[in-house]
Amino acid sequence: MSVRKPRASSQARIAVILDSARALLAEQGVASLSIYSVAERAAIPPSSVYHFFASVPALLEALTADVHAAFRACLQEPVEHAALRDWRDLSRVIEQRMLAIYAQDAAARQLILAQHGLTEVTQADRQHDIELGQLMQAVFARHFELPTLPDDIDVFALAMALGDRVYARSIQLHEHITPRLAEEGLRVFDAYLGLYLPPCLPKRPAAL
């Protein structure tokens, strides 16, 4: 059974709604977001917002998916294979790309790192983390010969989530990710991966 895609006009309206919600998140945070405030910012009737998003959590879930799409895109960008000395160089490239997204996108910081207490958003973020972890593992496997990893633990997803906890602490304390805690988050990421990846992981002759 095929899934019907939204018409171009609907896609444009959804984009306007999400852009307006993103702007409000940057200015006021999650707590003050409402269907009515988004409608006012988008200059459309509230009924138009409700047509696509039945509630604020539904709207935030869509924004969370949008943020994770940016993370997926950064993982899919090419990496210079010759510049990688060991797997930690690759983890630094990936984490720096993700940190750039956090730095540029207030919605990413608010939804993934801030303490908002919205169960629906948290659950959506965890599901997306699993997908990102699988994609990240594939990137590592493209450049290095990975050992056999547990099939009952999402090692890369968990490493990413642990690093995010450090970034979240920085947001809580400083309202942004400081260079010091960015570096600490990378150390946490590498430390957990180091439980499963040997220090001298064989590098492939060329990227797959």
- CATH of 57-208 among 1.10.3470, 1.10.287, 1.25.10, 1.10.357: 1.10.357
- pLDDT value at residue 106: 87
Q: Quote the Cα angle for 24-26-27, to 5°.
A: 65
pLDDT over 70 at 172, yes or no = yes
Report the predicted TM-score, pTM, of the whole model to 2 decimal places: 0.83
Q: What residue spans define the domains of the chain?
A: 1-54, 57-208
pLDDT over 50 at 1, yes or no = no
Residues 51-108 have pLDDT tens digits of 999 998 889 888 888 888 999 999 999 999 999 999 999 999 999 999 999 999 988 8
- pLDDT value at residue 116: 67
Mean residue pLDDT across the chain: 89
**Domain 57-208 in the same topology as domain 1-54:** no
The CATH class of the 1-54 domain is mainly alpha
- pLDDT value at residue 32: 79
Residues 6+ away with beta carbon under 8 Å from 46: 35, 36, 39
Secondary structure, 3-state, the chain:
CCCCCCCHHHHHHHHHHHHHHHHHHHHHCCCCCCHHHHHHHHCCCHHHHHHHCCCHHHHHHHHHHHHHHHHHHHHHCCCCHHHCCCHHHHHHHHHHHHHHHHHHCHHHHHHHHCCCCCHHHHHHHHHHHHHHHHHHHHHHHHHECCCCCCCCCCHHHHHHHHHHHHHHHHHHHHCCCCHHHHHHHHHHHHHHHCCCCCCCCCECCCCC
Average pLDDT over residues 115-129: 74
